[in-house]
Each structure stands twice: as C-alpha cells, then as structure tokens.
Chains A and B, each alone.
Chain A
Amino acid sequence: MTRLTNRLEHDLREIAAGAHPSPSAWESIAARLDEDTGSEVSLAPALPIDRSKRPVWLVAAAAALAVITGSIAVLTGVGDDQPISTAGSDLTTTFESPRNGFSIRYPEGAVVTPAAQSWGLGAQVDDGFDVVETGSTAVFKGTSASEFPDGNPCHDSSLEEIPCGSIDEQVDRYLSQEHLQFDGCAVPRSQQAVITIDGQSGRVAECPNLIEATVVTPGRLYLFTMSHNLSDARAVFDAFTATIDLTPETAISFAAMTTTFVSPTYGLSFKHFDRKGITPAAEPWDPATQQVDSVVRERHFDEVETGSGAIFAAASIEIPNGVSIDAWVDEYVGSPAPRAADGCGVPRSTQAEITIDGQPGRTVECPNRAEATVVAGGRLYLFVMWHQRSDARAWFDAWLATIDLTPETATVP
C-alpha cells in the first residue's frame, strides 16, 4: 500500500498545484464584508438571511452518514410501582414503528415513545429507539438497518479486499461499527441459537441481563435486544418477539428532518436533516425567465443539500391577477417542452393531487426529479427535489409534510 499512498500524495500535490489563488481575493472579501457588516449595523439587506436558523457548527458532528438504520425499544423497567404484565396474552396493543419496518404488541397501560431519529444518526444512539415502558424491570429494544448487506467489497484491517463471508460474519462486522455503540453479548452469530421471528430464521444470544436477537430479511437487518433484571427474561423476550411483524417495506431509510428552516423571503418554513447544507435564496425567483433546472444552480431557491443524494428546493411568487393557475404554471413554471417525454412536462391539471400544509396542490415525478405546486395566500409555491435515490417519493413526501406555508411573511413579490 505504501507505493499507492506515495503516488497518491505525489499526484494530489501535482493536481493541487494547478490552483491559482487570486492575490487580490482579500479585496473582494473585504468589499463583501463591508456590505455584510454594514447591513448588520445600519441597513436591512434586500434578501435578509435568517442567521438564527442556520446550522450550529459541530452540533451534529457525531451523526453518522453511514447506512441508514432504525430502531425500537420497549422499556419495561422505569417507574415500576405497578408492574404491567408482559405475559403473552396481555400483549394486546399494537405499536407500528414509524421508521423501522416492524410492529410489535405491548401490554395495555404501557407508555410508547416513537423514535425521533434513525439509529446511528441522532446525537444519541437512543434517539433512534421507539420506547415502550411497561413498568417491569426490563428494556426491550429493536433496530433495523437498510442496505444490508450493501453489496460493497469487504476489507480487512490492512485494507486488503477479502471475501465478505457468511451473513453471520457480515452481521458481526456490522454490529461492531463504532458509531452504533452496540454492546452485545459478544457471541459470534454463527454460534448463537436459532430463533424464529415472524417466520424468519434468526439468531439469539443470552448473557447476564441481556438477550439479543438478529434477523435478516432481503435488504434489511433487524436487531432486537432486551436488557433486564428478570428471572424469566427469556420467556418475556419470547413473548414480545412472538408478536413482531416484520414489514421492511414500511421502513424509512432516511434520517428524520428535525431542524426548522424559516425562509427569509418566500413565506414558508420546513424541516430538514441538519448537515449544514441549507442555503437561502440569493436572488428572487422569476419563473418567466428561469427554468426549473437552472434555479438551484443560480441560487434562486431556498435549498437544502441533504448530503444523501438529494437536493430540496423551495420558492414562491405572487400569482398575477386573472390567470388560470394551471395554465400559468404550465406556461411559466412547468418543465420545458423538451423534457415532456420524461414525465415532468405533463399539464398541471392532470398531475397527481397532493396536500401541503392543508392546501390542495399537484405533484409530478420524472427521472431524478419530483415537483409539487400549491397555492396559498395568492402565492404559488414550488417545491422540487433532484435526487439519485430509489426511495425519492417517500423522501419528498416526508419533506413536504414538514412544510408550513406562511404567505403573509413573504418579503418578495
């Protein structure tokens, strides 16, 4: 590897030498600082940037960009004044995980707290756990990871490519990832006992105060654990797992959008997953002269670079008096005619219906792009997502669901 890394260092230095930093760059920066600080001191900028909503550095530095995962926990050990029976016959209430692709039954009276984030992506690993508190002394957890196995080559610690090995070995390697902070029984999966969960064969291990089980379905790894202080823990664990339905098709393989962005110009707000990729519009959007595909490049939209193969963009504009919304959108906002064949050039009146913040709108999809339009307070709102994701529709819908339309706060026509 030394020869390769030596070459890397040499060739990258050669590439870097092609850069020509301008000797007068400071003049340009200083001029912008004058404008910037001058605005802060005495003038309101034409397009004010809502700095209070911009991301805080390093708050999410621990968030993983690795394979998206999700999880659930059933807590049965907090505040156990009145223990709730976890006998199989008492597990009567169904909880459907909002992110993790399974459901489980729990006893009536238990307290359920859905996961706030996907496993491994929150500030705390436990952010990704749905929690059910039943009042006895045990904590039941479940987790699922998408793109497992991910199909990429496997490597040993010296960077040599190695056979990925059996599913058992891949599960062991996956769970040993540092950012997952999984502290299990440390029994190789291949040596664990067999368990069946929802008809799927898995593995289970027991160690003091902990039981863990893993199941692999096509494309998804599930992990269920229960930490406990019970003499009949295995029976409780089996009672819970017997109620599990694995529904990988319902799992969400992207991070929860928890950071709110308030547009300084367009009369809207939305949530996003904070990876510092938010950029407010630099110039107002003018659909009469700007095609949809150019607005992001030229920064006419509020924009979120998700860092996960998708860009969200949003803008709004006053609707001229007396126009037909559909006709106006088709003429000025819709995709240009040459792309009609790819699916985004369809008339708005024939597009699918959608509701955004309670307002009826329209949505259309075409390769690598989804669009939605909605009218509120005399303004047309356009939302676009460019992407390279197979789950783009679900992601677009999740983003649209976070949108608040506030046309009264718009500061541009």
Chain B
Amino acid sequence: MATVDLRGRPDPATDDRVAQLDALYRVEYAGMVRLAYTLLANNAEAEEIVQDSLIEVHRRWHDIQKPGAYLRCTVVSRCRSVLQRRKMHPTHPGAELSVSDEASELWDVLTRLSDDQRMVVVLRYYGGYPSSDIAAMLEMPAATVRSHLRRGLATLKKELEG
C-alpha cells in the first residue's frame, strides 16, 4: 500500500510505484507519443493514449513483469481502438498531418491498408520491432504478423512504385 500524506493522499516521494513510473515516463513517454502519432497522426490523441497507458501501468505495476513492454502493448492496443472508432464514427477526430508530399503520399496509402497491416508496417519500419514483439503487442501469431507485413508491403509497393 502506498504511503499517504496528512491529507490522506499518496506521497509521491515515498511511493515506489510512482518513482518507478516516473523513470519509465522519462524513458518512454516521448517515444511512445511519436509511435502513437505515427499510427494516428493526431497529437492530442497520441498524448492522451500514452498518458492513459501510463496510468494503466501504474495501476497494474505489481502484476506486470516488464512495464516497458506492457506500456507499448497498451499504447498499441489503444491506437488500434482509435483507428476502429474513426471508421465507425466519421465525426471522430481524424488525422492532422503536415509533412512533405512524399510522406503525405505514404500516409495516404497507409490509411488505405487494413488496420492490422498498417499497424504491422509502422511497428516494423518505424518502431523497428521484430515480428515476435509485434505479435505480442497485437496479440496475434507471428505468422499472421508476417502475413500482414507481406500484404501491406505488396500494396505499398504497388501504390508507391506502381
């Protein structure tokens, strides 16, 4: 149980979980926001997702063995949900992107991929994660990850290199 101050609130200085979360935040926050942004192209959503995920990590701190991996998994899962919401609720906030024509072209093709293909491609070529890590993050077999990657790359090649 956390130490509490005189007002009954936890004292961050003595709350081990908070201190460790602070350390995780310092290491992972910016990178996770960028990863989420690369999937969503919406800074506010990306920040909200990563902050919510850190809160989730804090709640489950004693149940998880690898907080960094858990954080990545949670961020990716929440990004996937946002992509799904966008499809089902056209009024949901969408992408806001200001990049070169070439990157914009890539983004347009990425948005036409299935959510799973898009996430696998971004996690592989932006995140640099191997198939096994992506499989854990997306909760799918590594073979399925490779299948999504093959199909996603085939579409990208066709659309971008025609």
Contacts from A to B (Cβ < 8 Å) = 1, 3-5, 7-9, 11-22, 25-26, 28-30, 32-34, 36-38, 40-43, 51, 56-58, 60-66, 152-153, 155, 159-161, 177-179, 275-277, 293, 296-297, 305, 307, 309, 311, 368, 386-388
A33-B126 contact, Cβ under 8 Å, with A20-B43, A155-B150, A276-B139: no
Nearest residue (CB) in B for A23 is B30
In the assembled complex, the CB of B127 is this many whole angstroms from the nearest CB of chain A, namely 9
Known contacts A21-B33, A66-B141, A293-B89; A34/B106 CB under 8 A: no
Given contacts A42-B8, A64-B140, contact A12 B161 (CB under 8 A): no
Task: For the complex, give the distance between the alpha carbons of A44 and B98 in Å.
Answer: 44
- Counting from the closest, the 7 A-B pairs by CB-CB distance are A179-B141, A19-B37, A178-B143, A12-B126, A65-B140, A21-B33, A37-B10
| Contact call B10/A4, Cβ cutoff below 8 A | no
A34 contacts B9, C-beta separation under 8 Å? yes
Asked whether, in the complex, the Cβ of B141 is within 8 Å of the Cβ of A64, the reply is yes
Chain B residues within 8 Å of A13, by CB: 126
Inter-chain contacts of A37 with B (CB < 8 A): 2, 9-10, 15, 17-18, 58
A4: B residues at CB distance < 8 A: 153, 156-157, 160-161
CB distance from A391 to the nearest CB of B (A): 16
Please indicate the chain A residues that have their CB under 8 angstroms from the CB of B9 in the complex. 34, 37-38, 41
A33 touches B18 (CB 8 A): yes
Contact B139 A275 (CB under 8 A): yes
Q: Are A388 and B88 in contact (CB under 8 A)?
A: yes
In whole angstroms, what is the CA distance A179 to B38 when docked?
A: 29
Contact of B2 among A17, A18, A41, A296 (CB under 8 A): A41
Q: Which of B91-129 contact A (CB under 8 A)?
A: 91-92, 97-100, 102-103, 106-107, 116, 121-122, 125-126
Cα distance A63–B142 in the bound complex, in angstroms: 11
Question: Is the CB–CB distance between A57 and B141 below 8 Å?
Answer: no
Decide: A177 and B10 in contact? CB cutoff 8 A: no
Q: Indicate if the CB atoms of A19 and B43 lie closer than 8 Å.
A: yes
What would 7 A/B residue contacts be, using CB atoms closer than 8 Å? A19-B36, A19-B43, A41-B4, A177-B143, A297-B92, A307-B84, A386-B89
Q: How many Å lie between the Cα of A144 and that of B23 in the bound state? A: 49
B60 and A305 contact, CB distance less than 8 A: no
For B153, list chain A residues within 8 Å (CB): 1, 4-5, 159
* Chain B interface residue number, banded: 35 or more
Question: In the complex, which residue of chain B has the Cβ closest to the Cβ of A309?
Answer: B84
Nearest Cβ in chain B — how far from A146, in angstroms? 15
Contact A65 B2 (CB under 8 A): no
Contact (Cβ within 8 A) A33 B10: yes
With A19-B46, A21-B33, A37-B15 given, name 18 new contacts (CB 8 A). A4-B161, A8-B121, A11-B99, A16-B35, A16-B38, A19-B36, A19-B38, A30-B12, A37-B2, A40-B1, A58-B73, A61-B135, A62-B141, A64-B140, A159-B150, A159-B157, A297-B92, A311-B84
Asked whether, in the complex, the Cβ of A65 is within 8 Å of the Cβ of B37, the reply is no
B-chain residues with CB within 8 Å of residue A152 when the two chains form the complex: 151
Binary contact track B136-162/A, C-beta < 8 Å → 1, others 0: 101111111001011101101110110
Chain A nearest CB from B31 CB (Å) reads 9
A161 to B159, CA, bound (A): 13
Known: A7-B160, A15-B38, A16-B38. A29 touches B106 (CB 8 A): no
Q: Cα distance A76–B34 when bound, in Å?
A: 55
Say yes or no: B51 contacts A25, CB within 8 Å: yes
Q: Which of chain A's residues have a CB closer than 8 A to the CB of B36?
A: 19
Whole-angstrom distance between the Cβ of B14 and the nearest chain A Cβ: 12
Question: Which chain B positions have C-beta within 8 A of A17?
Answer: 34
Contact of B54 among A11, A29, A368 (CB under 8 A): A29
Asked whether, in the complex, the Cβ of B88 is within 8 Å of the Cβ of A368, the reply is: yes
B158 proximity list for chain A (CB < 8 A): 161
Smallest CB-CB separation from A38: which chain B residue? B9
Q: For the complex, give the distance between the alpha carbons of A1 and B102 in Å.
A: 17
| Interface bits B18-43 vs A (CB < 8 Å: 1, else 0) | 10011001000110011111100101
| Chain B contacts for A159, CB-based, 8 A | 149-150, 153-154, 157
Q: Which residues of chain B are within 8 angstroms of A34 by Cβ–Cβ distance?
A: 9-10, 12
B residues near A309, Cβ cutoff 8 Å: 84
Complex contacts, A275 vs chain B, CB 8 Å? 77, 139
Other-chain contact of A65, B47, B70, B74, B116 (Cβ < 8 Å): B116
Q: Choose among B10, B35, B37, B51 the residue that contacts A18 (Cβ–Cβ < 8 A).
A: B37
Nearest to A178 among chain B residues (CB) is B143
Q: Which of A12, A19, A60, A177 contacts B125 (CB 8 A)?
A: A12
B98, B139, B153, B157 interface centre (most CB from chain A within 10 Å): B139
Return A245 CB to nearest CB of chain B, in Å.
Answer: 31
CB atoms of A305 and B55 under 8 A apart: no
Q: How far is the CB of B158 from chain A (nearest CB, A)?
A: 8
